[in-house]
Structure 1
Amino acid sequence: MPPSFSRHLRAWLLPALLLFAAVPASAQTPLTVFAAASLKESLDAAAAQYTRQTGQPVRVSYAASSALARQIAQRAPADVFVSADQDWMDWLAERGLIDAGSRRDLLGNALVLIAPAGSAAQPFALDARSDLRPLLGARGRLSLALTASVPAGKYAKAAFASFGTWDALRPRVAESDSVRAALALVARGEAPLGVVYASDARAEPRVKVLATFPADSHPQIVYPVARVAGSAQPRQADAFVHWLGSDAASEIFRRHGFTIR
């Protein structure tokens, strides 16, 4: 090799190697997490902390668990799924679309009845004797997530059914695509009452909690997490799932109103 060529090669290689060494962590391929809408603030904070600690970027897509599970079934690119109930995680497991060994129960939550922050309604103990119709007024609607598919809506329907009041309330219900959409209706004053998770109510200053549903009035609220079987980054996905159960992550979730499983 001619000396001049060797010198030119070294002159080109050294800056290239330095540039490669200086590539920031953000140049890594982001992990894609599909997560229940109710996790928005808490998981955003957790993902940001994980990136600070590890250099691994995390991109989170939020929607109703039902919508996300169907997207995964249609082979949407995702690495991790966090559902707001066991049913949709089971649905994916039955189709071989999650890694069973990575699945774990991550969080819990409570179901609450909310009103706009400026409402004259006062907190009360909610049970089978409670009649919500006077609080709804002549034309007001009870804001719920979709009761046939979205976990928060399913839990709410189950609770009212356990009270024996679902049939009377059903004509007054306004259903939304996600629990955050149901929350927004109440926050904007478009519905006098709504049912959401306790963590949702904590995240929205424009609403107040009137009552907490008894835990035995509905199925236990559990947020399972698992790696998606089709993940393009299984090792990184498993590491993130494991970290979500760490003390650091648990503290973030507690701060946002969740319980730890």
Structure 2
Amino acid sequence: MRVDRREFLIGTAATLALAPRAFAAQRAPLVLAAASLQESLGAAADAWARLGHARPVLSFAASSALARQVAAGAAADLFISADAPWMDDVARRGLIAPGSRANLVGNRLVVVQPSTARPAGAAPLSQLLANGRIALADPASVPAGRYAQASLTRLGLWNAVAPRVVRGENVRAALALVERGAAEWGVVYATDARASRRVRAVRMLPAASHPPIRYPLARLRASTSADAEGFRRFLLSGAGRAIFARFGFTAA
């Protein structure tokens, strides 16, 4: 059978033109997400995969580190920050898709201690934190640390505890310091304390003592996965938010 060379070239060109779209449709979304979302977002990705989609690829770190990756041109599709300022930073650079930003979930702050330590009892927070090292995510850049510093400042405790603060690169690193006994106390998200059997939550910090904890979600302008917008909508749906609620997150 003789194939006309011109028809062959036209057909090949059409196939190559469609290839990027086909690749985009097949490629699982890459999601850059705050470290505190590890278990919950993993469960959401599993649920999305059960609906017949490619399971999203999840990358976790401090929101500050992720925002810098986005600014440096990371080939990611979705970004979930643990606070508004880092999402604002990405937005100011023109790196999020217009109309795709929304608040996903909220959280609370708790004081934790190693589960092997003597239970703290009902002593005032000022008395509990009067001695010992206190693990925080780095307040200079990490949302969990910023919220913690704001709360302790509002409660009149920051000046007393600041010399004893041990800084972690993200909230899970701060949690790990408490888990292994490198710090007697820690201030982490309630969901982090819930995810660990090696710490005990001893106090919930007043919500009014720090800015509201909200996790903004957005699709990145550079996204190339055709599934990214669908997954974003799934996370914001009732079914998606129910998954986060199961892990202790609050409504945004």
**TM-score where L is the length of structure 1:** 0.84
SS in structure 2 at match of 1:89: helix
Supply the AA of the counterpart residue of 2:46.
Answer: A
1:255 to 236, 243, 246: 246
Alpha-carbon distance in structure 1 between the residues aligned to 2:215 and 2:86: 10
Contact map agreement 1:126 1:213 (CA 8 A) in 2: no
What's 1:73 paired with?
71
SS in structure 2 at match of 1:106: strand
Measure how far apart 1:99 and its partner are.
1.5
Higher deviation after alignment, 115-124 or 43-52: 115-124
The within-5 A match list for 1:74-113 is 74-113=72-111
Q: Any idea what the Cα deviations from partners look like across 1:199-257, whole Å, max 9, x if unmatched?
A: 00000001010100000000000001000111112x42111111101222122111111
Contact map agreement 2:79 2:220 (CA 8 A) in 1: yes
Q: How many residues align?
A: 231
Runs of 4+ in structure 1 off by over 4 angstroms are none
Alpha-carbon distance in structure 2 between the residues aligned to 1:212 and 1:124: 12
Alpha-carbon distance in structure 2 between the residues aligned to 1:239 and 1:65: 23
Alpha-carbon distance in structure 2 between the residues aligned to 1:123 and 1:237: 47
What's 1:51 paired with?
49
Contact map agreement 2:105 2:251 (CA 8 A) in 1: yes
Cα separation, partners in 2 of 1:65 and 1:124, compared to 1, 3 Å? farther
Contact map agreement 1:145 1:175 (CA 8 A) in 2: yes
Contact map agreement 1:126 1:212 (CA 8 A) in 2: no
Aligned-residue sequence identity (percent) comes to: 51
Measure how far apart 1:124 and its partner are.
3.8
Q: Any idea what the Cα deviations from partners look like across 1:111-146, whole Å, max 9, x if unmatched?
A: 00000012113254866xx23344x3xxx3100000
Measure how far apart 1:173 and its partner are.
0.3
Q: Whose Rg is larger?
A: 1
What's 2:5 paired with?
none
The within-5 A match list for 1:194-205 is 194-205=186-197
Alpha-carbon distance in structure 2 between the residues aligned to 1:215 and 1:236: 36
Structure 1 residue ranges without an equivalent (≥5)? 3-26
Contact map agreement 2:79 2:219 (CA 8 A) in 1: yes
Alpha-carbon distance in structure 2 between the residues aligned to 1:167 and 1:54: 53
1:177 to 169, 178, 184: 169
Structure 2 residue ranges without an equivalent (≥5)? 3-24
Alpha-carbon distance in structure 1 between the residues aligned to 2:164 and 2:218: 37
**TM-score where L is the length of structure 2:** 0.87
